[in-house]
Each structure stands twice: as structure tokens, then as C-alpha cells.
């Protein structure tokens, strides 16, 4: 995996503030899911992706702040941008919190068994589901399946052999043997598992 550790935030170039905020919102939602998943599945790869996303959030926050400073000559616009800065800063703080969660992997192993139990307190859970060869979702795209709308479970990452797919999109095609990292309520995840194992045909 390519690390962004040595990248200067200013090397990303200017991004429109609306686009930056939308990306920060998306990343701040994703980073929390991956942080919890890294602990549940004891995955250094997932934890590293959390670090990478947090660095991207830092870059985007820098961009938003730079835009606000450039608008400083206009008091009215600067006042409007103050609220935007607060939203962007909150998203970046979520990223910092997610990194703190994922770094629990570095604690002594005897303390870790309690972590997944603590995380089960919410309504939603995170699970890993293997896609079997006889499943009719094999070679189909997530967007076409509308997985989240159909089951209520959201695919947040895919492990394909030794490779991870973190940038899961509608055009991502599911392959036999994929391990889907999903978030949702227990009922929805069990339903998705029936589809992935081939015990149930999609849409039935």
C-alpha cells in the first residue's frame, strides 16, 4: 500500500471548497468504519488505511483554510466561511479520533479481546462475509445490486486475496472468494450473508 506520509498538503493543488467539504464528509464517515474494522479484525492493513485517510483529511482542511484566508479581504464572505471552517475542522477531528481508535492495535494483545465486545454496544455491527462461487452476486456490480438499499448493510471494504479494496464504488464488481467488510444491523447482515453463500438468490 502506498503511504501518503511524506506528502506535503500543499502539493495537492487547489480544490473548490464545496468539493473539499463533500469529500471530507465522505471520508469522515468512512474512516470511523475502517477504524472499528481494524480493531475487530485485528488488521494492520485497515489501520494503515485509516492513517492514510486521516492525512487526506489534513490536506483537505489545509485547502479549506487557505480558501478562507484568501477571502479575508471580503468581511461578508469571511463570515460565511467561518461556519464552513468549523464543519471542516470537525471532520478532521473525527479523523484524528479514528486514528486513535485504530492505534489500539498497538496495545498489548491481552487487552484487545475486550474491544470487539465494547464495540457491539451500538445498533450497527461490522462483520466479514465471504462470497462463495455459487452465489449469484458474483461478477455483478455493487451499484446494480443496490446492496445497501436491498439489505441495509453497507460494504465498506473488500479483501480480495492478499489485496484490499478500500475505494468501494458502485462500479466495483464482486468476485468469488471476496471477503466483504460490511456495516449494518444484524438482520441486514444475515440477509446479505445468505446471498453471499448462495443459500438465497438475489432479490428473493
Alpha carbon distance 200, 193 (integer Å): 9
Better pLDDT: 75 or 156 = 156
Asked whether the beta carbons of 78 and 71 are under 8 A apart, the reply is yes
Most confident segment among 88-92, 111-115, 172-176, 184-188: 172-176
Instruction: Walk me through the domains of the chain, giving residue ranges and CATH numbers.
Output: 9-109 (1.20.58.220), 122-197 (3.30.70.1450)
Task: Pick the closest to residue 66 from 15, 7, 8 (CA basis).
Answer: 15
Q: Which helix (H) or strand (E) holds 156?
A: strand 154-160
State how far the Cα of 105 lies from the Cα of 128, in Å rounded to an integer: 18
Please write the tens of the pLDDT for every residue from 123-175.
788 899 999 999 999 999 999 999 999 999 999 999 999 899 999 999 999 99
What 3-state class would DSSP assign to 124?
Answer: coil
pTM of the model: 0.74
Amino acid at each position: 500500500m502506498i503511504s501518503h506520509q511524506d506528502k506535503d498538503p500543499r502539493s495537492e493543488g487547489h480544490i473548490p471548497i464545496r468539493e473539499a467539504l463533500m469529500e471530507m464528509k465522505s471520508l469522515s464517515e468512512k474512516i470511523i468504519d475502517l477504524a472499528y474494522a481494524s480493531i475487530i479484525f485485528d488488521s494492520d492493513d485497515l489501520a494503515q488505511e485509516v492513517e492514510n485517510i486521516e492525512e487526506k483529511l489534513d490536506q483537505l482542511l489545509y485547502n479549506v483554510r487557505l480558501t478562507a484566508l484568501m477571502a479575508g479581504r471580503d468581511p461578508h464572505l469571511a463570515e460565511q466561511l467561518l461556519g464552513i471552517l468549523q464543519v471542516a475542522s470537525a471532520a478532521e477531528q473525527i479523523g484524528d479520533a479514528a486514528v486513535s481508535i485504530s492505534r489500539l492495535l498497538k496495545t498489548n494483545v491481552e487487552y484487545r479481546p475486550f474491544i470487539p465486545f465494547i464495540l457491539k454496544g451500538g445498533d450497527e455491527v461490522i462483520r466479514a462475509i465471504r462470497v462463495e462461487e455459487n452465489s449469484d452476486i458474483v461478477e455483478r456490480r455493487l451499484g446494480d445490486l443496490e446492496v445497501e438499499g436491498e439489505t441495509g448493510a453497507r460494504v465498506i471494504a473488500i479483501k480480495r486475496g492478499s489485496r484490499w479494496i478500500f475505494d468501494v464504488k458502485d462500479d466495483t464488481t464482486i468476485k468469488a472468494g471476496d471477503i466483504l467488510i460490511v456495516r449494518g444491523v444484524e438482520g441486514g447482515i444475515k440477509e446479505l450473508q445468505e446471498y453471499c453463500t448462495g443459500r438465497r438468490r438475489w432479490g428473493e
